[in-house]
């Protein structure tokens, strides 16, 4: 029945995740510390009357909490079903079919998929060996939309603020800055959004906030652009229970979230040092994970899963650094968690020989 499917979808595949089962899951960069207790309490407090009705449009309490957190006006906030929902909607809002979206690679795997689904021309430019943008090459395509991911998934590296500011000055269209991992770095998106009308910043409560199962994302952008994005996003994309938990996490639970984000950064640094001492070459990271180029990534990922630890195996990454060139673009992406979990990972790597040559 393939003739019933749009032609452009025939070469696309659904997004897949690691089947972690009972394993410790370090594959999706979610929080192994879990959600803030205040968010769990808020979920328990959602009564049947709330569940029986459609959620409020807009979710006023959540928008207030997000605006306070980002330091912006409430009319600059748009919420969605995860930040990927808003990235998808932004492509339809700020680019026409046939327009170009430019981005550096490797990056979030759904970007070229969303581009294809929305009829956009994907213009991919490799990162420089320093994992910075080649801005001249990126803008040479005269893109209607530029996608930046910082800290970047899957490398973990953050773009210099000066690079982002140059793109904002010189890009002919709109710039989308994906800061899903912003809480683990000195991410500039909020401050830039307050002064730049052509910028959309997307963030999520799936990572530092520990609420991945509730699918809460949001965008920060100029009010006129926010109204357009709201129109494309459609109604009721965020359920009432999720909105209540998110508002609680951003208010009463915020110090808990910040404490554990700080711990995640400390664990990431310690893990990177231990991996380096073991003879591996993790890429510099400003996220809650490390990316480790590894020629034997497939085998090592399988062996770790057999030992009860799930990591993300990456294949075919552009050889933008010497380590990625040496690994033929294969790598392991390893999320961080409490140090006791990292010790278990390191022990397994040692026993497996951690051969990434």
Question: Each residue of 213-261: pLDDT tens digit?
Answer: 999 999 999 999 999 999 999 899 999 999 999 999 999 999 999 999 9
Taking residues 275-291, report their average pLDDT: 95
| pLDDT score recorded for residue 7 | 77
Q: Which of 336, 339, 354 is nearest to 27 (CA)?
A: 336
**Contact between residue 229 and residue 72 where contact means Cβ atoms under 8 Å apart:** no
CA distances to 171, 211, 248, 347 from 46, rounded to whole Å, are 45, 16, 12, 43
pLDDT band for position 357 (50/70/90)? low
| pLDDT score recorded for residue 5 | 77
Of 344 and 4, which is predicted with more confidence? 344
Q: Kindly report the CATH class assigned to 2-33+255-352.
A: alpha beta
**Contact between residue 293 and residue 356 where contact means Cβ atoms under 8 Å apart:** yes
290-346 pLDDT tens trace: 999 999 999 999 999 999 999 999 999 999 999 999 999 999 999 999 999 999 999
| pLDDT score recorded for residue 11 | 77
**Contact between residue 124 and residue 101 where contact means Cβ atoms under 8 Å apart:** no
Looking at every residue in the chain, the average pLDDT score rounds to 94
| pLDDT score recorded for residue 17 | 73
Calpha distance 188→201 (Å, rounded)? 10
End-to-end CA distance of the chain: 45
CB atoms within 10 A of CB 340: 8
Give 217's strand partners: 80, 204
Domain with CATH 3.90.1150.10 in the chain: 2-33+255-352
Calpha distance 212→291 (Å, rounded)? 21
Residue 71 makes CB contacts below 8 A (sequence gap 6+) with 190, 191, 194
Taking residues 161-189, report their average pLDDT: 97
The pLDDT of residue 66 is above 90:
yes
**Contact between residue 167 and residue 136 where contact means Cβ atoms under 8 Å apart:** no
Percentage of the chain beyond pLDDT 70 is: 98
**Contact between residue 190 and residue 70 where contact means Cβ atoms under 8 Å apart:** yes
Q: Would you give the distance in Å from CA 46 to the centre of its chain?
A: 28
Q: Would you give the distance in Å from CA 255 to the centre of its chain?
A: 22
Q: Which of 263, 280, 261, 260 is nearest to 272 (CA)?
A: 280
Calpha distance 51→244 (Å, rounded)? 11
Structural fold of domain 37-253: 3.40.640
pLDDT band for position 4 (50/70/90)? confident
Q: Which of 272, 255, 150 is nearest to 208 (CA)?
A: 255
- Give the predicted TM-score (pTM) of the model: 0.95
pLDDT band for position 1 (50/70/90)? low
Give 177's strand partners: 148, 201
Checking phi first, is residue 156 left (phi over 0); if not, alpha (psi -120 to 50) or beta?
left
Taking residues 112-121, report their average pLDDT: 96
Domain with CATH 3.40.640.10 in the chain: 37-253
């Amino acid at each position: 029945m393939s003739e019933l499917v749009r032609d452009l979808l025939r070469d696309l595949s659904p997004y897949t995740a690691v089947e972690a089962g009972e394993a410790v899951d370090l594959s999706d960069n979610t929080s192994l510390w879990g959600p803030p207790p205040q968010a769990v309490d808020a979920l328990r407090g959602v009564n049947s009357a709330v569940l029986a009705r459609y959620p409020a449009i807009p979710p006023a309490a959540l928008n207030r909490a997000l605006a306070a957190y980002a330091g912006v006006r409430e009319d600059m906030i748009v919420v969605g079903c995860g930040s990927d929902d808003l990235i998808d909607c932004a492509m339809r809002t700020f680019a026409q079919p046939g327009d170009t979206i430019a981005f550096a690679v490797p990056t979030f795997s759904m970007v070229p998929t969303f581009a294809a689904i929305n009829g956009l021309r994907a213009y991919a430019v490799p990162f420089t060996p320093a994992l910075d943008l080649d801005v001249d090459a990126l803008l040479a395509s005269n893109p209607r939309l530029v996608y930046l991911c910082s800290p970047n998934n899957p490398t973990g590296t953050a773009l210099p603020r000066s690079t982002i500011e140059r793109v904002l000055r010189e890009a002919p269209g709109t710039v989308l800055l994906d800061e899903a991992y912003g809480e683990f770095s000195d991410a500039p998106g909020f401050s830039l959004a307050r002064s730049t009308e052509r910028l959309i910043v997307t963030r999520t409560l799936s990572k530092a906030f520990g609420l991945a199962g509730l699918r809460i994302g949001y965008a920060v952008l100029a009010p006129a652009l926010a109204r357009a994005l709201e129109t494309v996003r459609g109604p009721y994309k965020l359920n009432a229970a999720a909105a209540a938990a998110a508002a609680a996490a951003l208010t009463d639970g915020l110090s808990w979230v910040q404490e554990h984000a700080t711990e995640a950064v400390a664990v990431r640094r310690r893990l990177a040092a231990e991996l380096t001492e073991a003879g591996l070459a993790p890429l510099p990271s400003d996220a809650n994970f490390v990316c480790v180029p590894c020629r034997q990534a497939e085998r090592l990922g399988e062996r770790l899963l057999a030992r009860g630890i799930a990591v993300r195996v990456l294949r075919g990454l552009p050889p933008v650094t010497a380590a990625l060139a040496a690994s033929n673009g294969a790598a392991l992406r390893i999320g961080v968690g409490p140090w006791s979990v990292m010790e278990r990972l390191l022990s397994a790597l040692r026993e497996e020989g951690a051969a990434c040559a």
